[in-house]
Copies of this chain bind each other. A is one copy, B any other.
Amino acid sequence: MGNADVKRIKILEAATRRFAHFGMAKTTMSEIAKDLNFSKALLYYYFPDKNSLYSAVFEYVIDKMIEEIETVIDKGGNFEEIMMYSIDMRVKAINQYYNLFEYTMKMVKELPDELEQVFKESYLREVEIIEKILKIGIDAQEIQVDDLNETARILLYSLFGMRMGILKDMKNMLFPTKEEFDHILSLQKKMMKIFLNGLRYQQR
């Protein structure tokens, strides 16, 4: 790995820390530069603008998450376990990098096209990975699904609903506590159990 790449990654990591903690709006390029003792202009040498940097961080985090899930998939095992594990990963990531997901949480309009694009892609990747896990259950003849893509989307939207539903209930929408995350996770798992049960082969 060349020296250039090393710096690029250092920037990515410092940016990740800042963005995850304070979000896009409350992080400045100067701060990231200062964290690294780089000049601000150097950041612009590696990343054309702040949006690109943010996008890169976002993708980086999603990549890591997807990778972790892929590992579990490759390890094999019961598809329901894999699915449960995958939502553990999702919630863990969202918890850990909470403010990176602020735009996904709140319903913000008028995002820069570039970010819009990145979010859409990450959504598609999430759908894909759910499809992949469902596919395992289908191949094992444990579940039956007629429209794989649609089913995956319904599942993802439902998980999303647990998040929103709970966060809406409380004042403190700014930063959910550990307990709130646990509650979301718990509801998501219960929902998932019922949902997968509803797809089981025998009962059609």
Which residues from chain A sit less than 8 Å from chain B, CB to CB? 105-107, 109, 150-151, 153-154, 156-162, 164-168, 171, 173, 187, 190-191, 193-200, 202-203
Contact = CB atoms under 8 A, between A and B. Distances in A.
B150 A161 contact: no
Contacts of A154: 162, 187, 190-191, 194
B168 A161 contact: no
Contacts of A107: 105-107, 164, 167-168, 173
8 tightest CB-CB pairs across the interface, nearest first? A161-B161, A198-B198, A157-B165, A197-B198, A194-B198, A158-B158, A157-B161, A160-B161
A164 B173 contact: no
A157 B166 contact: yes
Nearest to A193: B198
A33 to B, nearest CB: 33
B160 A165 contact: yes
8 contacts: A107-B107, A154-B190, A154-B194, A157-B164, A161-B162, A195-B195, A197-B198, A203-B203
B197 A203 contact: yes
A158 B203 contact: no
The listed residue with most B CB atoms (<10 A of its CB), out of A161, A167, A168, is A161
